[in-house]
Structure 1
């Protein structure tokens, strides 16, 4: 009797365990069949969604590991026809738009598609307090006398649109941009000197040196941008400010995607050091911030008018500081690397840039307008290594590329997939060929070329960025003889690959451990 009871109990336990195992699997299979097979067939007007197995989580992990690879998979899944498709993450659906005409349509539709929602999330990620978030979207009225000062906010914009406007006015061609550009060029002239390059030297041999091109570009460009925005003030508060910004920039994606701090993130330490310096800076009397850029002064004045707390003031400056340093050092690296790997291009660029030194003084305006081979290399580097993701939020139901997009979700326009589109760029779209921009001078206006975004988020700093990179190239080739360091076998080393292991927020870094070594002699 006892044996029979035990046997029955075991049989029931096995049966129950089987049910608990089979039922979830059955539900999962039915759910997946409905969501990714039946529903798309019933609703062909909606974007196809890339299948996944774990509800709610979706493709979150894959997107964080390599958004580029996930998007490439999505293109293949939809037949490489560049139709709009969907990617589900833990908190939202992303509509991926990669067709040049669809991207142009997104930029035009400012009524149904907005940027403010994304910007609000970005500000929260960078540390804005809840109280400040309420204040920055407040549109001033007649009762807000302090907020509508004729000298600060005559157009009565909310704080965030006012800050955007200030930043754009600083970077548009004219006296304000000339001043910040001159500060950048002055720092480049001071930094790119033989005695100042110890930080990037790998070895010395007689009168020559072998240097790390990546280290040279990183430190020099961020140093120049830092001093153009803050003068010497941040250096006085933190002598390691440049290194901390570089480290922050390497891991800024962890802030953008709001990874939880308990994960012991790499971005935590440099972010804290930068915020410590900026908290002190924003509380200094204006007389002790005399070297700050016009935009920094006016954003802080606006912060005072809107009664923004000091923590949020430091946060908005961190966002501006990071944005000013997100791309220039990487694009400089790729441009110079390709020039050094191509002896013919090297000679042409040296000849072009040398002509920009009348009487021994660099004419930056001449340089920016009269260097076709340098410009072609610059544009091709932007095309090949640009990884910026342009975002919009769907505010109301709209049609893009014959697909119906629902409100509340986000649109993602990855520039890399635009720039690698073979229909626009040809069969060799994935190859670096600067001559394509020489053969067709209108390519830099092609709808498939979006290194600086578009629409309301068209980068206001594009002219300054170009001049900064060109200036660095011209100074280097004026002061030094430079050539690519050969490998141990006497052959050219492998050209660096781009880093595809972390989410890209702009121009891609070279893959970890890859660099370009340069043999250099002072002229």
Structure 2
């Protein structure tokens, strides 16, 4: 009651002090603030600030002449709301400058027409889920137009909606007026990346958090309330200390439509952040020693993620089939875990899955024939489609999503899959656009599109499986072939045979193979696209890579035919550096593990059942780890992973410099393919596939950049950016917004 009394008194005082406050004055004040921030000149605010102004950044008093307000910046977006009752304003700023990106939330309170308080939360790389480009992208898709006068909610209704959201944080049964649709934006992550139209604001809310010190700005005209507050638990080193936090709510018809979150310093003071997804605690770790501990731990497993998400959503297994895996406690290695030696071999599902995927996708003697077959097919296809001696203008997106994908799929699965399903590529890319949404847990009746996309995709794979099982001679000479025309590679054939012999339904077999298609192309295609874009943008880089690639081709002395040595090309230093730099900046993975028992990770106690996360974007763009004075960590530099070694020319005796590939930082801070036991089994195949395609293209063709285009092919005046809809799940495709 005391806390509520203070709020009432504060409101009364503010109302009295702001008797002359009006919207025109407040709009002028926020315009002046935005201009001052853009110029980096806080002195220009002198006319509207009180002599005793209290200026804070992240809840700490700061000299306004040396704080973030004194830093000039190109502001890509600003939005303000204005509270004539409290005579207060809130402003949201987004700066995507790669050198110094920011997302800034600022609250100003006025007394007698002068700002007596300016409090700012200026987030930057390293803060919770920070991604200014993503924040701008999702912002641009939302509608924040003024609410028509006859449809505006009262001040009390708008504020109550925001309060209900935070009241739910320590009371899971508290009713929150979420609208349908409703979307939440945190850093660069968006809960409704596909525009599904459902209520995604309720996903992953905590249930044991009590937020403190709520400060409001309410704007009836905009249907918005900003709440500054203290959010405890974000910093594991001081779990009870409230952290600076801002939430902006859009309320329409009494229902929450959008939520924007800005949380500061969560990873600056501690490399461990704790938050909640429903009632499950989640620990987000940062730093090399924590990454190493996570990937090395036997008590952190991926099995729970597969049981909850992978098998039911992607493999489309029945409950009975999933339970077979759940009952298997014998581990993934050839030797069963102690106490499980009695488990029959045919019931060791985890070990068999590991064996099939990793043996046939990771071992050199299985990979080389696949890559050689891909090189043969791709060389043939580009010769047929792009004759020498004439210029052709083509879309990199079309080249990679159609030509490259077609060749990749027929290599891995054989030609039958496309012969039986001429529209298979369309079905795959349609599924790809919804695949990430499947794991969110929406029921089919609420959001049917992802299920329709999955059904369409898997129906075609089932048709392919049925034909293969019928036509393939399982006792013939091709049973151990590295490649044959029915199933293509051994991995496809062995995976089909294992699941079929084990009695899994056809839909589950198709789901397993569909996940293989998804893993092969959804991640490799964006990487190839980014590599080709960077090569075309930089003629010197293209020339250097072309010269390097030339050494990987072998000429037959009898026929004169040139073929690519796929093993040699995979070891080229500059190409490896280019590839690594693309992965570092264009892959966004959230590593997820489940604690099988209570444990301690470098002094941090993690309870059984907790989720442990590591975010590749944080690890792979850390300035202290990857940056250099000339080349900041968040900027692309193709030679970041090159060192030059002096050697003496054996013929002339002169010294010369030779490139060697050397990752610029500890491998512990680089995990685009995951880490530990669940590391992507197809990573070696993917790398060889990508290198082969790039090598063949740069060797055979002259290339030059023409223009940026929109997805529909129309010209664009903006370069491609990473598509943040895929943040956290893999490669970020290029897009133009």
- Normalising by structure 2, we get a TM-score of 0.56
Aligned ranges 1:144-223 → 2 under 5 Å: 158-193=348-383, 195=385, 207-223=390-406
Cα shift at 1:40 = 5.1
Distance 2:437 2:583 in 1: 24
CA contact (8 A) 1:453 1:459 kept: yes
**Residue 376 (str. 1) matches residue 577 (str. 2):** yes
CA contact (8 A) 2:432 2:518 kept: yes
Q: Greater shift after overlay, 305-314 or 383-392? A: 305-314
1:212-254 Cα offsets, whole Å, 9 max, x none, are 1122112233222311222122112211112221221222101
1:307 paired residue number: 503
Query: Which of 604, 622, 625 in structure 2 is aligned with 1:403?
Result: 604
**Residue 462 (str. 1) matches residue 678 (str. 2):** no
1:55-76 Cα offsets, whole Å, 9 max, x none, are xxxxxxx9xx99xx97xx55x3
Distance 1:353 1:215 in 2: 24
CA contact (8 A) 2:527 2:731 kept: yes
Cα distance 1:435–1:162, how it changes in 2: closer, same or farther (>3 A)? same
Distance 1:487 1:207 in 2: 22
Q: Secondary structure at the match of 1:472?
A: helix
Higher relative contact order (CA 8 A, sep 6+): 1
CA contact (8 A) 2:232 2:239 kept: no
2:730 paired residue number: 506
Query: Which of 635, 639, 646 in structure 2 is aligned with 1:431?
Result: 635
Distance 2:434 2:640 in 1: 34
**Residue 119 (str. 1) matches residue 274 (str. 2):** no
- Normalising by structure 1, we get a TM-score of 0.77
1:365 paired residue number: 567
Distance 1:97 1:140 in 2: 27
Structure whose residues are more often strand by fraction: 2
1:416 paired residue number: 617
Q: Greater shift after overlay, 159-168 or 323-332? A: 159-168
How many residues align? The count is 457
1:336 paired residue number: 532
- Structure 2, unmatched stretches of 5+, are 1-155, 171-207, 213-229, 249-255, 331-342, 473-484, 556-561, 644-660, 710-714
Distance 2:446 2:306 in 1: 25
Cα distance 1:394–1:347, how it changes in 2: closer, same or farther (>3 A)? same
CA contact (8 A) 1:251 1:267 kept: yes
Aligned ranges 1:83-122 → 2 under 5 Å: 83-90=271-278, 92-111=280-299, 113-121=300-308, 122=310
Cα shift at 1:116 = 0.4
Cα distance 1:493–1:361, how it changes in 2: closer, same or farther (>3 A)? farther
Cα distance 1:193–1:389, how it changes in 2: closer, same or farther (>3 A)? farther
CA contact (8 A) 2:499 2:509 kept: yes
Query: Which of 408, 419, 424 in structure 2 is aligned with 1:241?
Result: 424
Query: Which of 492, 497, 504 in structure 1 is aligned with 2:721?
Result: 497
CA contact (8 A) 1:335 1:377 kept: yes
Cα shift at 1:508 = 0.5
Cα shift at 1:157 = 6.0
**Residue 393 (str. 1) matches residue 594 (str. 2):** yes
Provide the alpha-carbon RMSD of the alignment: 3.7
1:441 paired residue number: 662
Q: Which has the larger radius of gyration?
A: 2
Q: Secondary structure at the match of 1:387?
A: strand
CA contact (8 A) 1:135 1:308 kept: no
**Residue 28 (str. 1) matches residue 163 (str. 2):** no
Cα distance 1:47–1:483, how it changes in 2: closer, same or farther (>3 A)? farther
CA contact (8 A) 2:372 2:566 kept: no
Cα distance 1:338–1:309, how it changes in 2: closer, same or farther (>3 A)? same
Q: Greater shift after overlay, 254-263 or 27-36? A: 27-36
Distance 2:325 2:622 in 1: 39
1:333-375 Cα offsets, whole Å, 9 max, x none, are 1111111111211110111112222211111112112x22211
Cα shift at 1:208 = 2.2
Distance 1:393 1:42 in 2: 20
Cα shift at 1:494 = 4.5
Query: Which of 412, 417, 427 in structure 2 is aligned with 1:229?
Result: 412
CA contact (8 A) 1:253 1:503 kept: no
CA contact (8 A) 2:371 2:566 kept: no
Distance 2:235 2:566 in 1: 59
Cα shift at 1:118 = 0.5
1:273 paired residue number: 456
Q: Secondary structure at the match of 1:447?
A: helix
Distance 1:102 1:447 in 2: 9
Q: Secondary structure at the match of 2:668?
A: coil
Distance 2:590 2:432 in 1: 16
Distance 1:462 1:430 in 2: 24
Aligned ranges 1:477-492 → 2 under 5 Å: 477-486=698-707
CA contact (8 A) 1:138 1:159 kept: no
Distance 1:30 1:332 in 2: 43
Distance 1:41 1:326 in 2: 33
- Structure 1, unmatched stretches of 5+, are 1-16, 55-61, 142-152, 198-205, 515-523
